């Protein structure tokens, strides 16, 4: 695992945009694993700017998102499909049929998870997977557990995660308690992984991910087993 120390969130976003631009220059038809939440917002802004300047092309790109809230329709402003449309997809020349997000409206969890794993397999796997890290060390919605999940699965969100996501909803009661998420095994099968970490509230999880024991109680620790992981972290996330 490689660590790149950045001064602040802006530098994280800039460096991440440069790396994704390089990835798409090298392989125009890359399959990107994308993330939501606060960590990649700056990156997506930088990519929109680069697209407007003619520096990056998404016409052959395919994307698979890490997760989606169970029970939310794509047009719901709090869904992750909506997040991706607003932050990236509708601003660039990516083809809508090449963007994939788990089906939050599929009530049968087995079907939803099986179908999403089939999509990733059909695309030939993920060339570059983008990740954030939760305060409890989750990646995607893989919460602390007694085991690492392999494929896409339905997870009950921890109180810690629900609390962190509450800021996006008017009332706590509106925050979904379940989500479909790509499993740790699927994440590890990505050819490259780029993790973004910003803020003092992430410092404990980042330190444990980098230097602690590999344990499902801190899902991000499994990234120590991957041969091509780059962590972009700012001074606060590194406890500095």
Total number of residues shown for the chain: 240
- Tell me the helices (H) and strands (E) count for the chain, helix number first: 7, 10
CA pair distance 233, 197, nearest whole angstrom: 5
Write a three-state SS string for 71-101: CCCCCCCCCHHHHHHHHCHHHCCCCHHHEEC
- Residues 75, 197: Cα–Cα separation, whole Å: 28
Report the alpha-carbon distance of residue 227 to residue 138 in Å, rounded: 20
Q: Please tell me whether residue 50 adopts helix, strand or coil conformation.
A: helix
Q: What CA–CA distance (Å, rounded) separates 183 from 129? A: 12
> Of 65, 67, 106, 165, which is the active-site residue?
67
- Confirm whether 136 is a catalytic residue: yes
Distance of alpha carbon 68 from alpha carbon 85, whole angstroms: 13
Among residues 68, 127, 143, 234, which one is catalytic?
143
From 65, 103, 136, 142, active-site residue: 136
Q: List, as one string, the DSSP characters of 187-236.
A: HHTSSEEEEEE-SGGGHHHHHHHHHS--BTTBGGGGGGG-SSEEEEEETT
Which helix (H) or strand (E) covers residue 34, if one does?
A: strand 31-34
The catalytic residue among 138, 153, 165, 234 is 138
Is 29 among the residues known to form the active site? no
147 is catalytic: no
Catalytic residues: 67, 136, 138, 143
């Amino acid at each position: 695992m490689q660590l790149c120390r950045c001064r602040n969130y802006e530098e994280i976003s800039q460096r991440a945009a440069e790396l994704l631009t390089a990835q798409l220059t090298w392989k125009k038809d890359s399959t990107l694993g994308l993330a939501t939440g606060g960590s990649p917002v700056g990156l997506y802004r930088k990519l929109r700017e680069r697209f407007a300047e003619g520096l990056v092309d998404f016409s052959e790109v395919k994307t698979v998102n890490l997760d989606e809230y169970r029970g939310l329709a794509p047009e719901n402003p709090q869904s992750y499909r909506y997040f991706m449309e607003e932050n990236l997809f509708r601003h660039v020349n990516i083809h809508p049929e090449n963007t994939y997000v788990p089906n939050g409206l599929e009530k049968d969890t087995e079907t939803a998870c099986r179908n999403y794993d089939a999509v990733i397999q059909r695309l030939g796997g993920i060339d570059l997977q983008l990740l954030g890290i939760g305060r409890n060390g989750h990646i995607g919605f893989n919460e602390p557990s007694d085991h690492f999940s392999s494929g896409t699965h339905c997870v009950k969100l921890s109180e810690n995660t629900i609390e962190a996501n509450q800021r996006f909803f008017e009332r706590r009661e509106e925050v979904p308690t379940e989500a479909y998420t790509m499993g740790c095994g699927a994440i590890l099968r990505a050819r490259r992984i780029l993790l973004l970490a910003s803020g003092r509230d992430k410092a404990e999880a980042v330190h444990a991910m980098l230097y602690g024991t590999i344990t499902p109680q801190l899902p991000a620790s499994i990234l120590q087993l991957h041969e091509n992981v780059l962590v972009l972290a700012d001074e606060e996330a590194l406890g500095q």
